[in-house]
Amino acid sequence: MKLRTMRAVDYWIGIPLCFLCTLLVRLWGKPKGPPTPQRLLFIELSEMGSTVIANPAMQKAKDELGAEIFFLIFERNADSLRLLNTVSEANIITIRETGIWVLLLDSFRFLLWARKAKIDTVVDLELFSRCSAVLTGLSGAKRRVGFYRFHCEGLYRGEMMTHRVNYNGHIHIAKNFVCMINALLSPEPQVPYSKTYVSDEEIRVPIRDVSEGEKEYVRGLVREVYPDYEPEFNRIVLINPNSSELLPQRRWSQDNFATLAGMVAREWDDVLVLITGSRSEREEALRMQEQIGHPRFRSFAGMHKLMALPALYNIAAVLVTNDSGPAHFSAITPIRSIVLFGPETPKLYGSLGNTESITAELSCSPCVTASNQKNTACNDAVCMRMITPERVLESVRGVLNGESALHPDMAQLTIAASL
């Protein structure tokens, strides 16, 4: 289903549906269930990277609530959950969104499953999505946690949450997710939830173990595109020019990525530059390879599945990427990631790993927020154009020349508006 269609459905159908479901939930009364969460379902449908960002909240639910964790996600994004193994395979529930009728059918099947599985607690991680609010409200769960608008105009999605959490647009989204678990841990009702402090230490994500066999498998794939690859000699720089269709304004231009890749390949004789992406992006990556025409710049798009990313990131030195899923997937590996921000801000959505965020910090940024459902009227992403290949090269140079300390702390670096 196209993004524009999904937004239209969420608005024109979602608003009246949330109103009707609110009446239904009130008529049903308070569902029965255990006094504390036992079978807890997280809902995050659309963003792959959010599964990594939500990991601290999921881990806290397991550690402090002792609950069995389930997760509902769009089928095409399910592999992102498997990267950390926080949720067991049997507890991953998927919904297809290939068409409106398929979406409705799978949603109905989910609601039947939720009651049969005796889900007693639902944590809706979506930022004011009406679809997820309906699924949460009709799940039959005794406890329903989600972001609530309170006195904000617009963004109505019913009155179905038992634990109404105040979304804080001034702290990282990972901390907002942890606040949802803190709401469940609160000994007394609060308005709003959650009146707690979340430290930076609470939003760390674990580094995923990668076997030597997994690394060797990926090295073999690298040799398929560059037969002269020698792990003892060649350092790998990864370039990810792609981003989700949810927000095309996040994309740095292909020409900028091509220019950067060419400069990197020419400056270091031992560096192999690989452009990553999905199979559907392979043709575009091959065109970029032909455009640059350097023997140590190769398309690696479509060469592996998502589950191979941790191994690829373990054998590479640095990743340059738009603000997208790979930035967050890199957080579970030691790789240094350089993430380019424009319509959104790293203060809220920065990678939780060994990262450096580059942003122009224009007065109009971030223009994408929870209040506009990640939609923007911008038709000219100046914020992305102001980030130059020369500026990004400085950060790459800092890593490859050993001038930039590698550490797990989150870092943010801004560029002056005069660039």
pLDDT at res. 407: 39
Q: How many domains does the chain fold into?
A: 2
pLDDT at res. 415: 40
* 100: in domain: yes
Assess whether pLDDT exceeds 90 at residue 9. no
| Residues 170, 266 within the same domain | no
* 83: in domain: yes
Q: Give the list of residues 6+ apart from residue 27 with CB closer than 8 angstroms, or none.
A: none
| Residues 43, 168 within the same domain | yes
Average confidence (pLDDT) over 11-36 = 92
pLDDT at res. 417: 34
Alpha helix segments (H runs only) across 146-241: 173-185, 212-225
Average confidence (pLDDT) over 341-360 = 93
Overall residue count recorded for the chain in this entry? 419
Work out the mean pLDDT of the chain and round it to a whole number: 90
Query: Is 344 exposed, middle or buried, given 0-12, 13-18 or 19+ CB atoms closer than 10 A?
Result: buried
| Residues 194, 218 within the same domain | no
Q: Rounded to a whole number, what is the distance in angstroms from the first to the last CA of the chain? A: 39
pLDDT at res. 244: 66
pLDDT at res. 410: 36
Residue where a domain terminates, one of 158, 178, 203: 203
The answer to whether 418 and 387 have CB atoms below 8 angstroms apart is no
* 301: in domain: yes
| Residues 257, 298 within the same domain | yes
| CATH number where 216 lies | 3.40.50.2000
pLDDT at res. 367: 87
| Residues 167, 307 within the same domain | no
pLDDT at res. 93: 97
Residue where a domain terminates, one of 167, 183, 203: 203
| Residues 195, 255 within the same domain | no
Q: Which domain holds residue 301?
A: 212-414
| Residues 217, 163 within the same domain | no
Kindly report, residue by residue over 152-198, the tens digit of the pLDDT. 777 889 999 999 999 998 999 999 999 999 999 999 999 999 999 99
Average confidence (pLDDT) over 36-50 = 93
* 407: in domain: yes
Tokens encoding 352: 């939780």
* 419: in domain: no
* 192: in domain: yes
| Residues 247, 372 within the same domain | yes
How does residue 404 score in pLDDT terms, banded at 50, 70 and 90? low
| Residues 26, 7 within the same domain | yes
| Residues 255, 165 within the same domain | no
| Residues 46, 140 within the same domain | yes
Q: What is the spatial distance between Cα 200 and Cα 195, in angstroms, rounded to a whole number?
A: 16
| Residues 302, 216 within the same domain | yes
Average confidence (pLDDT) over 297-303 = 93
Kindly report, residue by residue over 197-235, the tens digit of the pLDDT. 999 999 999 999 999 999 999 999 999 999 999 999 999
Average confidence (pLDDT) over 88-111 = 94
Assess whether pLDDT exceeds 60 at residue 414. no
Residue where a domain terminates, one of 175, 203, 231: 203
* 259: in domain: yes
Q: Percent of the chain scored above 70 by pLDDT?
A: 94
The answer to whether 310 and 388 have CB atoms below 8 angstroms apart is no
Q: Percent of the chain scored above 90 by pLDDT?
A: 74
Q: Decide: helix, strand or coil at residue 75.
A: helix
pLDDT at res. 409: 38
How does residue 416 score in pLDDT terms, banded at 50, 70 and 90? very low
Number of H-type helices and E-type strands within the chain? 15, 13
Mean pLDDT is lowest, of 104-113, 126-135, 224-233, for 126-135
Closest listed residue to residue 404, CA positions, set 394, 391, 416:
394
* 277: in domain: yes
Assess whether pLDDT exceeds 70 at residue 245. no
Q: Which helix (H) or strand (E) holds 253?
A: none
